[in-house]
Every structure is written in structure tokens, then in C-alpha cells.
Amino acid sequence: MKLSELHPKQKAIIRSIGDIGELKNRLMELGVLCGEPVQVVRIAPLGDPIEIRIGDEHLALRNEDAQKIEVEAISQLRHRERKGLS
């Protein structure tokens, strides 16, 4: 699932960060790393940008960039753990 597909207040774990050019290094400096939890805080009225929270940091990302960040929703993880599929 892509970060851009999450709804406000939905939480996920970052699985991979695609090719978003120089922005990738800046995001990594701000804590956007694989394995880190992320939450969508809100989405702008026209859908772009989206505000996310990672740790204590709040960041605004363009929808185009959020589409290149692969995440796994926390609810999916819990479902897999209950089924023993970790």
C-alpha cells in the first residue's frame, strides 16, 4: 500500500522509499526511514499535500511523493500476527 492511500489518523510502518530524488535524503534526515511508524494527520481539501507525523515531527508531502513510499497499515500487521504470518 502507498502512503498516499492512507486515511487521516491511520497508522502504518514504512516499508520502502522509492525514487523521489534529492527529497529522499532530506526525508531520511527527518526520520522517514524504513521500519518507522507513520501516521497521516490530515489531507488538504484538494488532496495535496498530506500532513504526516513521524515521531514528534510533522511533515507535509506532495501526493506525488507520498505515492512512492510503500507502507504497511498497522491493522494489516496485527491481522498477520494473529494468523501467525509474521
At 53, is the secondary structure helix, strand, or coil?
strand
Position 79 scores a pLDDT of 53
Q: Which domains does the chain have, with CATH numbers?
A: 3-73 (2.30.30.90)
C-alpha span between 36 and 53 (Å, rounded): 11
Q: What is the pLDDT of residue 23?
A: 85
Q: Around Cβ 32, how many Cβ atoms within 10 Å?
A: 22
pLDDT digits (tens, 9 = 90+) for 9-64: 999 999 998 888 888 888 888 888 889 999 999 999 988 999 999 988 899 999 99
Instruction: Show the cell assigned to 28.
Output: 531520511
How far apart CA 55 and CA 34 sit, in angstroms, is 13
CA dist 4 and 2 (Å) reads 5
- Give me the pLDDT at residue 26, please: 87
Q: pLDDT by residue (tens digit) across 60-85?
A: 999 999 999 999 998 765 555 566 65
